Structure 1
Amino acid sequence: MISVLFFVLLGAMLGAALGYASQVFKVESNPLVEQIEALMPGGQCGQCGEAGCRQAAEAMVRGALSPAGCPLGGANLTQQVAELLGVSVTIADADIQWVATIDESLCSGCGRCYKACPFDAIVGATKQMHTVIRDVCTGCKLCTQVCPQQCLTTVALPPDSRSWFWPKPQTAAA
């Protein structure tokens, strides 16, 4: 009974010490970084040149990475990040959204594609048919790089209301 009481008191004291230390050594983060990170796809794919979305958001706030630095976010993310940072960016007319497609007749069901997809956009089981969930796919092309049968390709999606931006009017030169 004494040993149980001893360990309960020891646990309470250590918990109180850890709680106090977490308050004393707390690191305040930039709320702008957290807002930008919440907008990003969150796949940690590294196609922007950073290790993950958190590091990319920090680089955008520092000015080391352009608001258009995330190729998966497209024009929507670029515009939202630019508004948060208070900078202006030009959205290219050729900003194309890509999506992966699988040629089922060539797919052997090896499973490499759905293991490579950081967004879980490919569903299927080993030695079974795989398919791509178009609404989730960001077109990062990581799955096409690991497919041994070359049955994965990326195709351009036609613009829709979620990805198309009306171009800004050009002022006529006087």
Structure 2
Amino acid sequence: MAMMMFALMGALLGLGLGLAARRFYVASNPIVDDIESIMPGGQCGQCGKAGCRQAAEAMVSGELNITDCPPGGSALAAEIGKLLGVSLSEQGESQPMLASIDESQCSGCTRCYKACPFDAIVGATKQMHTVVSDVCTGCQLCVSVCPQSCVSVDIAPIDTLSWHWPKPNMTLS
């Protein structure tokens, strides 16, 4: 009898939640959903917004430039530009950033490791830490938490993966 009572109660509560979900459904902007789905998702706040959803909403409304997401870099800005119909040249291109750790000063406190939302810093307690450059997005969250000030974020060096051919200057004579 008790099992039937719990099963009936579960079915009624499930039905009630299903009806409430349909009744109180709030439709969102599909472009905001698309932009949020391609953003890094680290909720780093480097754009000045609390998270990637708020940043996507601000980009759609025109509050933020499409280049205002440092972790996403120029590839993300180009994708967002396609979705919004905005040219990347109109917004100004941002430089890709990369964190680095002065390993001679690192005490292994793990604060930078814990602050990195992308798991781009590796190391152990009381051991030297280092940055995995292929994963680092340059969000700068690790800089402010380091008590030894041994973490810095600089413009990423140009290599075969980040180099782009410069656009030609078209002049008509």
Query: TM-score scaled by structure 1?
Result: 0.87
Residue 152 of structure 1 corresponds to: 151
Report deviation, 1:56.
0.5
1:9 partnered with 2:8: yes
Q: Secondary structure at the match of 1:99?
A: strand
CA RMSD of aligned residues (A): 2.1
Report deviation, 1:162.
4.6
Note if contact 1:74-1:97 (Cα within 8 Å) is conserved in structure 2. yes
**Structure 1 unaligned residues grouped into runs of 5+:** none
How many correspondences in the alignment?
A: 172
Report deviation, 1:23.
2.1
Q: Secondary structure at the match of 2:168?
A: coil
Residue 64 of structure 1 corresponds to: 63
> Once the two structures are aligned, what percentage of the paired residues are identical?
59
Residue 17 of structure 2 corresponds to: 18
Report deviation, 1:119.
1.4
Note if contact 1:117-1:143 (Cα within 8 Å) is conserved in structure 2. yes
Deviations 1:91-135 (A, max 9, x none): 646x43221112222111111111111211112222122111111
Residue 118 of structure 2 corresponds to: 119
- Mapping for residues 45-84 of structure 1, pairs under 5 Å: 45-84=44-83
Deviations 1:54-82 (A, max 9, x none): 11011111122111121222211111111
- Alpha-carbon distance between aligned partners in 2 of 1:162 and 1:64, rounded to the nearest angstrom: 31
**Structure 2 unaligned residues grouped into runs of 5+:** none
Query: TM-score scaled by structure 2?
Result: 0.87
